[in-house]
Structure 1
Amino acid sequence: MQSLSWRDYAARRTGLPVGSRGELRQNLYRSFTASSFGRFWQIWNPLFGFYLQLWLYRPLQRKLPQSLALWLTFVGNGVLHDAVTLLVRQDFVWFFAPWFGLMGAYVLAEKRFGLRLRSGRPTLAICYHSSLLAGTALLSTLVRI
């Protein structure tokens, strides 16, 4: 990981070099048609994912079980999103940390129980991932602290 640049990391995740024509479309397509929600997140934002892995997940994984390190990385990502929201809105809204915590828990459950999309139909995968994003967002509004 240390010797891999974020550009190389992003190219592996999206299938295209950073800045190339069609990169955003390819990234969206590969994310939303991924065979699992965990894979969706591996592809979704390669730049942010690279730095989360480098600065949060890997250090946590050295001290904690892999599943806890992964879940805390999701929660930490949510805290970062909440901090940006605070800076922009000048008002603290505790939304992203619970939302990302729920999504992280789902990724862990998906891994634990071996849940994967096997149909090969892009429309089904897009609906699956969109439903998970919307459903966990809705649940996180109920978890307001």
Structure 2
Amino acid sequence: MVVIDDAHALELFRFADRVQSVTLRVACDAPMVTGEERYYAAEIVLESGFVNGTVGLHISGGDLDEWGRCLDALEAEEGAEWPPGGRSAWLSVVPQDPLEVTVHDSPSTQIAVQVPVDVATGWLKENRLRLEHVRMAIA
């Protein structure tokens, strides 16, 4: 299990309403270096009145670029899946009303939890700002 220190963590994204949320927190310190790529510990945190859970993963700078493309797809009202490659936990987002976020814990437990989130106006802009903050922190 990945343990994220709050002092060095930033949110890459947040989908939230008054009842439930799905957030990804990234530890921007002490990357794990594999070859040319640096990976950062992260965790997807799901909170609702029905189920709460956290699943760990590691993300790279390339994954941040891919998240930017996912935000573009969501802005175009297309679905998105992130991170690519099937190497860890991942999520899918369907831009409906309400937004549907599904967190997949694969290849570990094979459990998936779907959360409908009634996001507030401006959620896309806020998530773009979060992405830029994480990019600056790991640059």
TM-score of the aligned structures, taking structure 1 as reference length: 0.30
Structure whose residues are more often helix by fraction: 1
TM-score of the aligned structures, taking structure 2 as reference length: 0.31
In our comparison, the structure showing a higher alpha carbon Rg is: 1
